[in-house]
Copies of this chain bind each other. A is one copy, B any other.
Amino acid sequence: MSGVYESARAGRNASFIMAGLSASDKDAALQAIAKALLANSSAIVEANKEDLAEAERTGLAMPLRKRLLFDEGKIQSVVEGIDSLISLPDPVGRQLLGTQMDEGLSLYRVSCPIGVIGIIFESRPDALVQIASLCLKAGNSVLLKGGSEAVHTNRILAEVIEASSVEAGMPRGWISLLESRSDVEEMLKLDEYVDLIIPRGSNAFVQYIMQHSSIPVLGHADGVCHVYVHEKADPEMAVRLVVDSKTQYVAVCNAAETLLIDESIAADLLPVLAKALEAKHVILHGDDRASSIWPMKPVDQWHHEYLDYEMSVRVVSGEPEAISHINKYGSRHTDAIITEDEETALRFMQAVDSGSVMWNCSTRFSDGFKYGFGAEVGISTSKIHARGPVGLEGLVTYKYKVFGKGQIVEDYASGKQHFTHKPIPLPGEK
């Protein structure tokens, strides 16, 4: 039996204990972790220096080296993250449904941990702390695999988190670090023990994970987000929203990649939009009709995530074509319509098959923190389980609890007893 198998099995056993922990047990463990990270900060920074030196030796690209850096400032910021996580309500034990099945026979749907989560992330060591603390808050065990270039940093972080949390009462085995690619391959097969995989990284990487495991995956491979400027758009607003959606931060999944504009307004408005985008150094790639209005490069393919100062532009005949373009070439992530016409907006928001649909605001708002979730586990483009920006609730599931007084089904089958099926109000409901 391999190390990964043993880790997964230990994680599963620990998860049964985690499921019974109270909010204050878990928050105390988070507190202990935050304290231990600060107490061990010089050792952590030392370990990180080893990784940085190795990265320099092997000539790792500068942006990756920057992401690898984990200094006192980064430690301070992950500790702040833990503090804010402690202030969030416990996602476990929430009553989601209550039904009186009969006098003295009550049904509750109650949120509970998922069990064992496998997380695979690339270079940034911050992700390890973030995701481990999110999993703990939701009562899940976690198997972590970080980038190999951060091996020393990840190792000490995992050690500090494990030692301090177990000392604070977490069951041994709730957190394990995997270290090799073959460990990951093996984890992807352990569907008996691992309930959910969360991959964080490049498109190709996430796609690979999705295609190589029968374990459910929470995440998104790409974010091909659209802004559709409808013929009834306010032109000034359209410019502001298109520029913000594209350029406020180009390297992220909720940045817009494609501009769709109605033909009836394209001749007037496209040049204004193009000028505003080009003033921000955005290179445009258009279809024939767009190019005939404003000079731009030809577009290669519509399903394209630039993550850069580049944007595809298409002139459409109206709302139905815009919707079908988005549903065909988009990635079910985030898409916006700009229009003053409410009916069109509502239709668009109903028909576009994406996790987030926006009316008259920037696609960049699609984010767990901006949505007020207090934490973000990731953004999901899958439709099953969690969709769109995912807060802590993406790390829990639910179970049904039935409280009886000795009732048997035979009495209901024979007609001696009858179900009442009256709703039991949820806490806070009238």
A residues sitting closer than 8 Å to B (CB atoms) are 15-17, 19-20, 99, 101, 105, 107, 109, 112, 114-115, 195-196, 210-211, 214, 216, 234, 237, 240-241, 243-244, 248-249, 323-324, 327, 347, 349-351, 353-362, 364-366, 370-372, 382-385, 387-389, 397-410, 412-413, 419, 421, 428-430
Tell me how far the C-beta of A316 lies from the nearest C-beta in chain B, rounded to whole angstroms: 16
User: Out of B388, B400, B421, which one reaches A357, CB within 8 Å?
Assistant: B400
* Residue among A20, A353, A388, A389 having the largest count of chain B Cβ atoms under 10 Å: A353
Complex: how many Å from CA A38 to CA B400? 38
On whether the beta carbons of A383 and B20 are closer than 8 Å, the reply is no
Known: A20-B347, A240-B406, A421-B372. A400 touches B356 (CB 8 A): yes
On whether the beta carbons of A413 and B105 are closer than 8 Å, the reply is no
Residues of B within 8 A of A360 (CB): 403-407
Residues of B within 8 A of A413 (CB): 248
Complex: how many Å from CA A408 to CA B323? 23
On whether the beta carbons of B248 and A402 are closer than 8 Å, the reply is no
Residues of B within 8 A of A195 (CB): 383-384
Complex: how many Å from CA A357 to CA B248? 49
On whether the beta carbons of A397 and B384 are closer than 8 Å, the reply is yes
On whether the beta carbons of B388 and A385 are closer than 8 Å, the reply is no
Residues of B within 8 A of A399 (CB): 354-357, 387-388
Residues of B within 8 A of A115 (CB): 353, 383
**Interface pairs (26), CB distance under 8 Å:** A16-B324, A20-B350, A101-B370, A101-B371, A105-B365, A109-B388, A195-B384, A196-B384, A211-B214, A241-B408, A244-B408, A244-B409, A248-B408, A355-B400, A356-B399, A357-B399, A357-B402, A360-B406, A360-B407, A361-B404, A362-B409, A365-B409, A387-B398, A388-B399, A388-B400, A389-B400
User: Out of B216, B389, B410, which one reaches A248, CB within 8 Å?
Assistant: B410
